[in-house]
Amino acid sequence: MVLKTELCRFSGAKICPGKGIGFVRSDSQVFLFANSKCKRYFHNRLKPSKLTWTAMYRKQHKKDIAAEAVKKRRRTTKKPYSRSIVGATLEIIQKKRTEKPEVRDAAREAALREIKERIKKTKDEKKAKKAELLNRNSLIPDLHHLEYRLLNRECADKIST
C-alpha cells in the first residue's frame, strides 16, 4: 500500500510519507508543511507569494508556464456528434456529410442552371406575349384611331345636349 504524497501548503513541495509536520488550526483547517522551515515561516506570518522559492510565487510571477500552456491547448477539439433530427434522419445527415465537395459543387451548379433556365423561359414567354400584342395592334392601327374618333363624337354630343 502506497501512502499518498501530500503537497506542502506553504511551499508547494511534495511531502513523502513519514516526513513533514501537520498543523490543525482551531477552525478545523489542516496545514501540511514539508519541513520546519515552511512551518516556521507560516507561524511567523510570512507570505509564500513573496518568497521566491515557493510554488505560489512562481505561479504568480508566471515562471515556467509556457510549457504547460502548450500542452493544454490540444485537448479542446469537439467531436462531431451524429444524431437524427426531425427534419432529416441519420442516414440523410451522414450521406450529406460524406458527399464530396465536387459532387456538391456539381449539384449546386445544376440547380443554378435550372433556375436560370426557368427564369429565361418565363422571360421569353413574356416577351413573346408582348410581341404578339404589339403585332395585333400594329395590324389594325385605324381601330385605335376609330375608337378615339367615336369617343370624341360621343363627348361632343353630350356637351351639345
Which residues of the shown chain bind other proteins in the complex (CB under 8 A)? Answer: 3, 15, 17-26, 28, 30, 40-41, 43-46
Contacts of 97 (CB under 8 A, 6+ apart): 80
Residue nearer to other proteins on the CB measure, 28 or 77: 28
Residue nearer to other proteins on the CB measure, 41 or 57: 41
Residue nearer to other proteins on the CB measure, 45 or 83: 45
59, 40 Cβ separation under 8 angstroms: no
Sole residue written with cell 429565361: 120
For the bound state, the minimum distance from the C-beta of residue 60 to other proteins, rounded and expressed in Å, comes to 19
For the bound state, the minimum distance from the C-beta of residue 77 to other proteins, rounded and expressed in Å, comes to 43
Amino acid letter, residue 66: A
Residue nearer to other proteins on the CB measure, 43 or 129: 43
43, 30 Cβ separation under 8 angstroms: no
11, 53 Cβ separation under 8 angstroms: yes
For the bound state, the minimum distance from the C-beta of residue 31 to other proteins, rounded and expressed in Å, comes to 10
For the bound state, the minimum distance from the C-beta of residue 21 to other proteins, rounded and expressed in Å, comes to 5
Which of 70, 65, 90 lies closest to 80 in space, CA to CA?
90
96, 82 Cβ separation under 8 angstroms: no
